[in-house]
Amino acid sequence: MNKHLLSAGDLSAADITRVLDTAAHLAHVTDRAIKKLPTLRGRTVCNLFFEDSTRTRISFELAAKRLSADVINFSARGSSVAKGESLKDTAITLEAMGVDAIVIRHGASGAPWRLAEWVDAVVVNAGDGTHEHPTQALLDLYTMRQRFPSFDGLRVAIVGDVLHSRVARSNVLALTTMGAEVTLVAPPTLLPARVDGWGATVSYDLDAVLPKQDVVMLLRMQLERQRAGFFPSLREYARLYGLDARRLDAMAPHAIVMHPGPMNRGVEIAADVADSIERSVIASQVTNGISVRMGLLYLLLGGPAVAGPGGAAGSGATGQDAGSAAVAAAGARARGGPW
């Protein structure tokens, strides 16, 4: 795996599997009364957020804290950035304070790449403009893997505002790497100009696509990023591309509904579909985000691979303590001794 996680496209199938397997072991920590492992004790993770976020920032914070890292939450508002300090100066300041990892969200596409040139710390892209959101893709794949035995030939439709979505791009990269068949569904105005090169099928007709899918992922209509009229009205959009109860019925009985959040209920997804206990895995996506980010921080900050099923964690002990013990033991070895 690379030093940083900037793009989902930098991850091989083996890397993705390793992150998901590590996350699955670490997920057991979340079920415990005391939700903490000492693995990253003494390491410092900075959440550097230049854009608003609820779930991603909290999820990274909880992930780092559950591994016992120290966490700094930096938001541009109320910091020297508000006084005009540049990203570079901010980065150099953080590095001088000894942070080991910087989790960055920025409105400018490409900002995490610049940051990675300036600092020695590990950089994780938590969303850059309309470009990428690789940890969202990883948690989405983790959630799919809970329901489906393999990505090979898995049919995933990603529906909506692809043009402004960093989630769509990262998911297409990760899913196609794993062998899934992705279909992007949107009105032509909400598809990027060079979408043909993405390795996904494109359709403008949601009703034609729906019955064939295993996974239907709705994208948020990113009204704050839209600088033109991309469709006649939200009502019209919902009529043609919104997932409502009628369309849910047209899906295969085993198919699941996903959404990265935050949702525009009544636009890309009807409220009863979002809350459907049988079909919607949206709440699981949020829960899984913590384990996946724990797995990622664990791997990027120096932990060796956790043994998969049949490996050290799988032999002998089973269940919660086996996974956690394997991660803890691996962490101890990596750090050269007991904590």
The residues that are catalytic are 55-56, 83, 105, 133
Contacts of 314 (CB under 8 A, 6+ apart): 307, 308, 322
Q: How far is the CB of 145 from ligand MLT (least distance, A)?
A: 19
Q: How far is the CB of 56 from ligand MLT (least distance, A)?
A: 6
What DSSP designation does 288 have? H
Binding site for ligand MLT (CB under 6 A): 56, 127, 133, 136, 166-167, 220, 222, 260
Contacts of 170 (CB under 8 A, 6+ apart): 7, 8, 132, 133, 134, 136, 137
Nearer to ligand MLT, 15 or 132 (CB): 132
Give dist(CA 213, CA 215) in Å, integer.
Answer: 5
Nearer to ligand MLT, 186 or 330 (CB): 186
SS3 202: strand
For the chain, count helices (H), then strands (E).
Answer: 12, 9
Nearer to ligand MLT, 43 or 166 (CB): 166
Nearer to ligand MLT, 38 or 266 (CB): 266
Q: How far is the CB of 319 from ligand MLT (least distance, A)?
A: 32
Does residue 9 contact residue 176 with C-beta atoms inside 8 Å? no
Chain centroid to CA 66: how far? 18
Q: How far is the CB of 96 from ligand MLT (least distance, A)?
A: 29
What DSSP designation does 1 have? -
Nearer to ligand MLT, 127 or 303 (CB): 127
CB-based closest residue to ligand MLT: 220
Phi, psi of 269 (to 5 degrees): -145, 135
Q: How far is the CB of 155 from ligand MLT (least distance, A)?
A: 22
SS3 325: helix
SS3 85: coil
